[in-house]
Structures are given as structure tokens and as C-alpha cells.
Structure 1
């Protein structure tokens, strides 16, 4: 059926589509689209999601930092360089865990003094040699898979600090579910980081969109800016901007 092929062709380009978008594009009812998606899923050609469909399984399994570092390397470095330009003179920032924010730490060049609070051991190792950077390493239990700390000790420290920006890496960005990660305790720490920051900047390559993971961090209403690569679809970008989120796409990626 031509309509089924149209759906698959668009998914090949967009990676994830909403039912309502397909209704508008193909000029058919939501009931018809859902039947189409169910049939295509039964044939193993796509994965149905809440309110849409994806070519890839939208549910993410946990992988180690070493595994993640090998994925979308060029995109992560481009996003990291753009994120570093958001730092201003005498700034104070929070840096969460993950390979994209680890890449971000490599490009940080402080303007005069910079204060960094982070849960990531790798971030500390990247920054420790710069005497203009004051580092507060959060303490607690170490997650081996992410080389970062979690737990009540880290959360307690965050109750007593305030920073201008949080640079946050995530495992999934879903328009309805929001931001998510694979570990519940890490999600709880991220929530405390959100409360300690005036502005939230998400660093995520385009493969993260339309995906969700076990532990929800927050709704997209908490996000001020997302820095990503050109693989993000126009539909997703427009929907994010409709939510008053600044979407920065790194040129050439």
C-alpha cells in the first residue's frame, strides 16, 4: 500500500513521527494511522511509541561510558564546542554526567575565573590542570558505568548552592515524556541540579530525540536551550520551539 510506504519513507528521514503529524501529512484519520502503524509493527518494520512511531526501539538500555564514547563522536565534539561558548566571565556552572558533557569539558576555556560543580569524575580530570577553574566535586557512591557520583551526599550539597547554568546530558528526549536517563538515582540527582541552576542547557546529538529511558528527569518546560546537530528533524525542532525552547543546531554536523 502506497500510504504504508509513505510512512516508512518519512520515518527513514525523520526517525520518529507523531500520529497527528502523519494525519496531517497523509490527510487521513488518527484511527487509520494507528491501524497502519500496528500492521507495520507486526511486520517488524517500525516500533510504535506513545502517540507515534519510530524506526528504532525508543526504549534505551544502559551502556557504559566507554561504549558511548564511540558513538556520534564528531557530533558530540561540535555540540561541546558550541556549549563552551555559553560560558561567560566569572561564571559558575553545573556539569552533569555523560559523554557529551565530558567532551564539553575539554573545550572549556575560562574567562577570568570559573566555578564548576560536577558529578562526573572525567570532567574533573579534564579541568583539574587549569588554575582558573575552581572545582567542587560532588561526593557519593560511584556509578561505574558512567564514572559519576549519585546519592544523598551529592544531593545534599546541591541544596546549598546556586549556579547560572546547568549543562545536562541525557539518554532520551521525548516531546511528551520529557528528558530521561537509564538510572533512577542519577535522574534524582539531575533533578536537584535543575533546582540549583538558573538556566538549563541540554547537550544531545540528534539520535536522542524520540527516545525515552527508564528514569524520567523532567518535563521539557524546564529546558531553556538544546544544542544538537543537523540530524534533528524540522518537525521536532518546530515543536520544541513552540514550547519556547531555544534549539541551537551546530552547522556542518
Structure 2
């Protein structure tokens, strides 16, 4: 197992359990205890976990796994969701994309749509995510608008008041939200309040709002609220979503697409 794969596995185990012992982690990943100790020390130096005697714990109560370590989680479900979201976009529209692994997949799904292969432009994409802008900027059929702001290393998103100047002067046909959690009572939320603020502005500038979230995000709440549930027009999620939870969204007037 490569170091990156090992680190991703360790961080995901930490997110799931909150605490890991060196010996248990070594047995689970089939590597030596010395390797795990070295991994924990290096991850602690990057402030991605906290070292304890004999193990490690997550870094803080609102732990956020950096984007580069989240790409493999629920990957198949996210790709299905992304294709369904991309199908909701009409040629010539202006679409806002927040950062995140699912919205990155939405950008990729838009990039391969045959009916968007030409045009002047075929689509306008507004995003605060540097990775999404970089992937789509090589596609001449897309007009890419990037908000200003300060980049967050965890998500590659631009945040802060510099984004307000751009978002205050545009209108969008659709905003696509990648979220940490989505709940009928508590709405859509993120870990970071600065990200949530930019996402909220995207929602306010859009005619319709779509939440793209795998089923693990539903019925949960997170620290920083993006918007109320009644702001959202459509939820696109996977078929593993709890039927009762789906029913609550539908009762609240939200269209739910299960893919």
C-alpha cells in the first residue's frame, strides 16, 4: 500500500471512529506499527490529526478531511449523482458550482456532455473552487467565472469578502451545492463558516438550487448553515437514502431524484 493510500485510509478511519491505536491501525492496514507511528507523526505535523500516547485522535470536534483524501469515498454514488445533476443543466445557462468532491464530478460530467461540446459559450460556470475552474478552463465551450477570495487548502475553495464583489453582480440559472449535511429542519450546511457564506451567496443569486449529496450526508447537521431546506428546489442523491428521510424532504416541497 502506498503512503497516500495509507494516509487516506487512516484519516477515514479516524473520521469514522474518532480515535485510533497504533497496534489496531497496523493490524487493519497490514503494515508495521513503526510505519503507523511514522504516519501519525507526519500527519500530526500537517495538523490533520492529534497524536496521543499510543495512537491518534481527530483534529478538533468539527473535523474536515481534506479534499484530496475524500475523492474515493462514495465514488460510484457521487458519479451517478453528478451525471443526474449535469442532465438538469440546459445549454446556454449560467451555473454556479461550490467546491467539493461531488460538485467536482458534476463539472466532469458537464465537460463530457456531447450537446455542450460547442457553442458561444455552451455554458457559463461560476465557481469559487480552484480545482473545478482549472479542469473546465481548458474547455473552450465553457465561460469560466472565478470568484475572488482566499484559498482554503482543505477544499481548494476561495472564501472571504472578496467573493462578495463578484457574486453581487451576477445572476445564475442554477446553483449546485456540495454539502457536508442536509436536513429538513437544519437545512444544508458545511464545516467552515467562510465556505458556507460564499455558498449562501451563490444560492441567493440563483433561480433554482440543487443539492448534490450522497445518502451519507442526509438527515445530519454540521456547524455552518448554508441555507434553509425550503431554499432548495431539488435534491439529487443515491438509492441508499433512507425512505423516511426522503419522504420528509418531499413533504417539504423538495423534488428528490434517486440515482
Output the TM-score relative to the length of structure 2: 0.72
> Residue by residue, what CA displacement relative to the aligned partner does 1:131-155 show, whole Å, maximum 9, x if unpaired?
1100011111000000110011112
SS where residue 237 of structure 1 aligns?
Answer: helix
The residue number in structure 2 matching 1:237 is 246
How much has 1:175 moved relative to structure 2?
2.1
CA deviations 1:102-152 (Å, max 9, x no partner) are 011111132632111100111112211211100011111000000110011
Partner residue of 1:129?
A: 138
Deviation at 1:60, TM superposition (A): 5.3
Q: Is the contact between residue 97 and residue 169 of structure 1 (CA under 8 Å) also seen in structure 2?
A: yes
1:91 aligns with one of 73, 90, 93: 93
Contact 1:61–1:213 (CA under 8 A) maintained in structure 2? no
Q: Tell me what 2:44 maps to.
A: none
Structure 2 unmatched ranges of 5 or more? 1-60
**Other-structure match for 2:63:** 61
Where 2:78 maps in the other structure, the secondary structure is helix
For residues 158-193 of structure 1, give each alpha carbon's deviation from its aligned partner in whole angstroms, at most 9, with x where no partner exists: 111001000110001122111110000111111111
Give the ranges of 4+ consecutive aligned residues of structure 1 lying more than 3 Å apart after TM superposition.
none
Structure 1-normalised TM-score? 0.74
How do 1:141-156 and structure 2 match up within 5 A? 141-156=150-165
Q: In the alignment, what sits opposite 1:203?
A: 212
- Secondary structure of the residue aligned to 1:107 is helix
**Map of 1:24 onto structure 2:** none
Alignment partner, residue 117 of structure 1? 126
Is 1:105 aligned with 2:107?
A: yes
2-structure distance, mates of 1:177, 1:222: 12
The two structures, once aligned, show a CA RMSD in angstroms of 1.2
Given that residues 60 and 171 in structure 1 are in contact (C-alpha distance below 8 angstroms), is that contact kept between their aligned partners in structure 2? no
The aligned runs of 1:1-253 (5 Å cut-off) are 61-108=63-110, 109=113, 110=116, 112=119, 113-250=122-259
Contact between 2:126 and 2:146, CA under 8 Å: does it hold in 1? yes
Unmatched segments (≥5 aa) in structure 1: 1-58
Q: Which has the higher contact order (CA 8 A, sep 6+)?
A: 1
SS of residue matched to 1:217: strand
Q: Does structure 2 conserve the Cα–Cα contact (< 8 Å) formed by 1:60 and 1:212?
A: no
Query: Displacement of 1:61 after TM fit?
Result: 2.2
